[in-house]
Amino acid sequence: MSDVRHVLVLPDRDAAEEAAQALGERFGLDEEPRLLRDALAGEDDAEDAQWLVVLRDEKERLDPGELDEFAGEWEGWREEP
């Protein structure tokens, strides 16, 4: 098995939480995605933060294009490795 991870970048916490829940429903994930706050260096304002949804894909069954389209539904994108 490989250690493939996908990272979806979303504009706020609400979008990240909704997307993480919908990911499991749409793609039938084996484990729950992780949510991480990503703020620019020196920025403490929550409005300047992006939220990352990180999901493991050890079986490499998730299509990157579908994940990118999925993230776009929340005005986000899939980060290229």
Tokens (6 digits) for 4: 């493939």
State the angle between helix axes of 13-27 and 64-72 in degrees (0 to 180), rounded to the nearest 10.
Answer: 140
Q: In which order are the strands placed within the sheet that holds 5-10?
A: 34-38, 50-56, 5-10, 77-79
pLDDT digits (tens, 9 = 90+) for 10-53: 999 999 999 999 998 999 888 899 999 987 655 555 556 789 99
Q: Band of the pLDDT at 80, cuts 50, 70, 90?
A: confident
pTM: 0.85
Q: For residue 49, with 0-12 CB atoms within 10 Å meaning exposed, 13-18 middle and 19 or more buried, which class applies?
A: middle
pLDDT at 9 over 90: yes
